[in-house]
C-alpha cells in the first residue's frame, strides 16, 4: 500500500497582519484541493476494507491460518492508513477554519 501525502499549510507561526489576502486565499484553495483528495482516498480505502472483508468471508472455511493472518494483516494496514488520513483531515479542517476566519475578517474590515 502506498502512503499518500497531502498538503496542509502550517499556519501556526503566521503573523496574520503581515500576510496578504491573496496568499491566504491561495493557501485556502490548495487546502480545498487537498481535502477533495483526502475524501477520494478515504472512499478508496473504504472500498478496500469491504473487498478484504469479502475475501476473508469467502475463504474463511477453507483457508489455512497463514492465509487468514495475511488477510487480517492487510486489513489492519488499511485501517491504520484510514486512521492516519482521518487525522490529517481533522488537522486540515482546523487549518481551513483559521484561513476562512482570516479571509472573512478581512472582508468585514475592508
15 inside domain: no
Supply the CATH number for residue 99's domain. Answer: 1.10.287
14 inside domain:
no
pLDDT in tens, 41-62: 999 999 999 998 888 888 777 7
Assess if residue 66 is contained within a domain. yes
Polymer length in residues for the chain: 110
> Residues 4-23: what's their mean pLDDT?
89
Residue 6: inside a domain, yes or no?
A: no
What is the span of the domain harbouring residue 34?
20-109
pTM of the model: 0.82
Q: How far apart are the first and last CA of the chain?
A: 48
Give domain status of residue 40, yes or no.
yes
At residue 78's C-alpha, the angle toward residues 77 and 82, to 5°, is 120
Amino acid at each position: 500500500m502506498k502512503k499518500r501525502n497531502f498538503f496542509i499549510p502550517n499556519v501556526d507561526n503566521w503573523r496574520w497582519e503581515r500576510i496578504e489576502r491573496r496568499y491566504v486565499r491561495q493557501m485556502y484553495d490548495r487546502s480545498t484541493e487537498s481535502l477533495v483528495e483526502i475524501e477520494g482516498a478515504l472512499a478508496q480505502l473504504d472500498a478496500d476494507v469491504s473487498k478484504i472483508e469479502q475475501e476473508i468471508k469467502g475463504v474463511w472455511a477453507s483457508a489455512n491460518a497463514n492465509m487468514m493472518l495475511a488477510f487480517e494483516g492487510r486489513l489492519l494496514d488499511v485501517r491504520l492508513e484510514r486512521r492516519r488520513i482521518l487525522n490529517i483531515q481533522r488537522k486540515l479542517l482546523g487549518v481551513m477554519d483559521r484561513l476562512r476566519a482570516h479571509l472573512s475578517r478581512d472582508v468585514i474590515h475592508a
